[in-house]
Amino acid sequence: MHADAQDQGRCPFAHGSEEVVDQLDPFGAPYLADPYAVFARARAEGRVFHSEELGHWILTRHEDIKAVLRDTKRYSADIANQPLVPFSDEVRKQLADLGFRPRRVLVDNDPPNHLRIRRHVNKAFNARRLRLLEPDIRELAEQHIDTFADQDEIDFVAALAWPLPALVIFRLFGVPADRLEIIKDGSRDRVTLTDARPTPDEQRRAAQGLGAFFAYCREIVADRTENLADDFPSDLIRSGQGDETAPDFDELVTIMYSILFAGHETTTGFLTHLLRRCLAQPDLWQRLRENRELVPAMVEEVLRLDPPVINWRRRAKEEVTIGGTVIPADASLLLLLGSANHDESVYDHPDEVDLGREAAQPHLSFGAGPHMCLGAPLARLEGQLVLEALLDRFPRLSLPEQELRFRANLRFRSPERLLVQLHQGG
């Protein structure tokens, strides 16, 4: 339902608004084909829509979304991990039997408890740890490139974007590389359970993977509690010793689970979008090769244009009015981060790559306010180092004709495959 129509006492679905609400369905064909065209149409029609089907109020504009993200008094983050399709009793029991007992720690926590945990995590996830990861990222990028450098064509997702960000996080966590499948598959299962529309069978299967992932996080905390090492989990435990505000055992397990998920699923999508954008525009690859100072701006533009977390969620704690629309207390809000980043009232030529763009209005791809993404500096660093390694090794890359496929779900968007031609021999 479009709010302006409602205010004026007209049919709430006048001016095609019902059609826009239909198109805003992340599981529908128009959205899957081009959500940005759908967002542009929605922005032109209104600031707030209501989708009965999704059970969310949908916000389209940069200004409104940023205000909601920053306002912890009127909006709660507690629905961040709430499944779109509620778990069946059977799956609930299955997860309990597997020991899946996540606590509210970061992304779905509210003040003052969120601040308590975030303070401890910030201390351990610090600039020194990030600096230490830089040579690891370079080494992993080179290693992966070596595995495909002599091929004519690769799927960039399978060859690099899927494994690399997880292996970076593993170095941070002191996790051996042979855990790649359990963590990557468990993370995909998590998206299935929270953001997709799984059948009962798919729910049961995904719950098994999620349980294994969570159990491994418990193993990490149990091990480091006994054997402190030189890694992020140990730093977190060490810095909390003797401090009664420090996260307890179960909170530590959920912090591991939270970062081990957030730290790669998103960055896999980001690296894929980054390479695609670099190759989609004639001469851009060459320009970047000749002037490496443009790389950080390219990274920022791709984060803005193609946020891998395209939507986010908050819950209104009280009745609120946004752009003239009254939203009831307890309503779930869907914040279209991808729409905010293309908002023409904030960005000139919003759909184009502009490497000279002023950063006066930061994009919202990492959220805003107290929940602002913990790993933003790491994601940016991975983007820059991987892009530089590819620019060094491949003078000419190109995209063959292909149809990109995206997995239908509420919040995450990145191509499942990206075919790239490597042009051996010049």
Footprint of ligand HEM on this chain (CB under 6 A)? 69, 77, 106-107, 118, 258-259, 262-263, 266-267, 270, 307-309, 312, 365-369, 371-375, 378-379
Closest separation in Å from C-beta 108 to ligand HEM:
8
The structure tokens 């997709």 sit at 196
Please say which residue, 255 or 327, places its beta carbon nearer to ligand HEM: 255
**Closest of 156, 216, 154, 206 to residue 180, by C-alpha:** 216
Please say which residue, 91 or 410, places its beta carbon nearer to ligand HEM: 410
Cβ-based neighbours of 360, under 8 Å, separated by 6 or more:
none
Q: Which residue is nearest to ligand HEM (CB)?
A: 375
**Closest of 171, 150, 146, 181 to residue 160, by C-alpha:** 146
Closest separation in Å from C-beta 205 to ligand HEM:
26
Please say which residue, 23 or 254, places its beta carbon nearer to ligand HEM: 254
Helix segments in 196-264, DSSP class H: 200-226, 232-240, 249-262
Closest separation in Å from C-beta 367 to ligand HEM:
2
Closest separation in Å from C-beta 220 to ligand HEM:
15
Please say which residue, 5 or 368, places its beta carbon nearer to ligand HEM: 368
Phi, psi of 57 (to 5 degrees): -90, 130
Cβ-based neighbours of 298, under 8 Å, separated by 6 or more:
274, 277, 278, 288, 353, 355, 387
Closest separation in Å from C-beta 420 to ligand HEM:
20
**344: its two tokens:** 């023409």
**Closest of 95, 49, 104 to residue 324, by C-alpha:** 49
Determine the straight-line distance between the first and last CA of the chain, rounded to whole angstroms. Answer: 55
Closest separation in Å from C-beta 376 to ligand HEM:
6
The structure tokens 């606590």 sit at 103
Alpha-carbon distance of 334 to 57, in angstroms, equals 6
DSSP summary character for residue 88: P
Residues 305/404, Cβ–Cβ less than 8 Å = no
Closest separation in Å from C-beta 332 to ligand HEM:
14
The H or E element spanning position 301 is helix 295-305
Closest separation in Å from C-beta 365 to ligand HEM:
5
Closest separation in Å from C-beta 66 to ligand HEM:
10
Please say which residue, 203 or 267, places its beta carbon nearer to ligand HEM: 267
**Closest of 123, 15, 71, 25 to residue 316, by C-alpha:** 71
Please say which residue, 17 or 109, places its beta carbon nearer to ligand HEM: 109
Closest separation in Å from C-beta 401 to ligand HEM:
27
Alpha-carbon distance of 336 to 347, in angstroms, equals 16
Alpha-carbon distance of 390 to 277, in angstroms, equals 14
Please say which residue, 192 or 258, places its beta carbon nearer to ligand HEM: 258
Please say which residue, 42 or 374, places its beta carbon nearer to ligand HEM: 374
Angle at CA of residue 68, ends 329 and 52, nearest 5°: 50
The H or E element spanning position 316 is strand 312-316
**Closest of 341, 387, 423 to residue 39, by C-alpha:** 341
Please say which residue, 5 or 334, places its beta carbon nearer to ligand HEM: 334
Please say which residue, 46 or 338, places its beta carbon nearer to ligand HEM: 338
